[in-house]
Structure 1
């Protein structure tokens, strides 16, 4: 079976949504700063960033609730920059769900369809179809206060999908759910999106949520898009120190380029008292300041010195975070700084386990050391 290329990798693919040089200022505050972004039909795209980074403002401009100070927004080839929200082919699902408390589940879903003037048989058919889609058919006559948080979330989603928008906007949609229900609902949302084929654009500050649900992620900081990529690209190949540090845990080693060749880059790292070897392919000049990133799960930890002599560090176990399936070791190096190493707990036995104050060696493969130049 031939797998079709992802639309964002196809030069001939026309984006469904385009932000062209979009900025938004509130007085002297620049909330969104010259954003260029393309989102394709059928994507589950997440805008990810810390509070105040501009992601919600960008979503509200796409919805039409805020007007850009500069630039333009296009949906399906049409410039919607000055188009009011109710005339855009989008619908928005809020974190609070915004359900009418006096209406039944079916009534909440039917409300927007009645506003559009659809015939009763058409409305009834649409309501039934979306309730079946979100597995809430047997709750059609209940009021919102008779539902759990996860059930209200499904009703809010059904109400949005009933209008058959080209784009569904989700503003922190799972923020009100507990962790276990949130994890379950993440996969349900992805499956529903895959079945209906509607383009989803979600705002979240939750890295795990974005990694689990998204086809691509746009990481934002200070009003700008720092990097756009698939979850694998964002995590394994961050393009900046900010992205590397924001997505997951990362050990950062500062240094300067000692030598570079087609085989990789050697970095002089004073805090390790020896050079680091990486598989970085881009040519870098000698003396160039760089940061070398190594994810904690890429590090091996043990009592014995590594046999190959590449990329190692020595220290003592300062702290241990036991998470059941894995343990995170905080190791204080001889230089005084702390780094993290993650080890899977594959067996029940406690024999040979590392503990506090144990002297240990850390090591990692050159291919797992990523060189960051900014």
Structure 2
């Protein structure tokens, strides 16, 4: 089985205007009666990506994946794979393979027989089948379990066998529908990195559906956040988290403090936003021109804030409050700060000291501070 290594640190073909996407959705919609599951989606995915479709249940991500697989037909629009319009091509004629959430292994077959099944259907010579089965089982570290049947394997092992079966046919695109949902937390976290490593070694384009934000952030080269059948934003994990394009994305990916306000001034370096609930103006490092008087939302991530007894230093945003609640999570604590307006703000603080040495506790008067560069202005 041919293997290539994707150079993840410098892998960004979507930034190259000369790069031709492997997968293209052009104005794709899917309706079930009066219900619009997917609404006018335009999306490009490049060869070698580990691309995630992320969203809550019912957002359209699985329907989009099923249309790419050929299990659903678009109501309108077209889907291209490697330059070919596959919109009306049946699943078995597309250069894709799909790994289902249930793994769908044949219970009466051994691990080796499960992996070999698709290759036998394609009529490959026995010697070539044996070689491919050996290679992919080595790749997923399941060689010593080749003679076992699915009921003799753990959930994580069955997941590896299902992956090996998909990889054996060397598809151009591997589709994964919530592939780690059945695993427990520790195994899921370990398998995330292993799956990324396998994808980098084989160089096949992976398209994954997930509702787990941490999973998408950990595994993906890029993420498409979906909401009500539409794409809210497409970007790298850093772009999605640090520079959300909409309030929905900011709120869906991680925790966020949102403050409603109105743009008071717009200079070359700073935007000033008046926030009545904070009873003060906020300064934000410039990220784009916004008209004076425009209503906006200012977003600050909890880890970007500092909670302290002293007043903020000059140039920092600041607001006073009282410690209302503390959630101790071991490595970090989450402070819920009640402001004079009644609004609560969430602050995340790394626990660098032992619990008994915490200098802040309930009912303490504190100051919140954050740098202008650590806030984002959202206009929608």
Name the TM tier (shorter chain).
over 0.9
Q: TM-score, normalised by structure 1?
A: 0.98
SS at match of 2:240: helix
What is the aligned partner in structure 2 of residue 84 from structure 1? 90
Alpha-carbon separation, structure 2, partners of 1:46 and 1:304: 43
The aligned runs of 1:322-341 (5 Å cut-off) are 322-341=328-347
Does residue 129 in structure 1 map to residue 145 in structure 2? Answer: no
Alpha-carbon separation, structure 1, partners of 2:77 and 2:223: 22
What is the aligned partner in structure 1 of residue 298 from structure 2? 292
Does residue 224 in structure 1 map to residue 230 in structure 2? Answer: yes
Alpha-carbon separation, structure 2, partners of 1:16 and 1:30: 26
What is the aligned partner in structure 1 of residue 144 from structure 2? 138
SS at match of 2:37: strand
What is the aligned partner in structure 2 of residue 107 from structure 1? 113
The aligned runs of 1:160-171 (5 Å cut-off) are 160-171=166-177
Q: TM-score, normalised by structure 2?
A: 0.96
Contact kept, 8 Å, 1:253 with 1:292, in 2: the verdict is yes
Q: What is the root-mean-square deviation in Å for CA atoms of aligned residues?
A: 1.2
SS at match of 1:102: coil
What is the number of residues matched between the two proteins?
373
Unaligned regions of 5+ residues in structure 1, if any? none
What is the aligned partner in structure 1 of residue 12 from structure 2? 6
What is the aligned partner in structure 2 of residue 195 from structure 1? 201
**Offset from partner CA, 1:239-272 (integer Å, 9 cap, x none):** 1100000000000000000000111100000011
What is the aligned partner in structure 2 of residue 281 from structure 1? 287
Contact kept, 8 Å, 2:174 with 2:207, in 1: the verdict is yes
Deviation at 1:144, TM superposition (A): 0.6
What is the aligned partner in structure 1 of residue 74 from structure 2? 68
What is the aligned partner in structure 1 of residue 251 from structure 2? 245
Unaligned regions of 5+ residues in structure 2, if any? 1-6
Alpha-carbon separation, structure 2, partners of 1:281 and 1:76: 36
Alpha-carbon separation, structure 2, partners of 1:73 and 1:352: 56
Mean alpha-carbon deviation: is it higher for 332-341 or for 29-38?
332-341
Alpha-carbon separation, structure 2, partners of 1:148 and 1:4: 36
Moved over 4 A (4+): none
SS at match of 2:128: helix
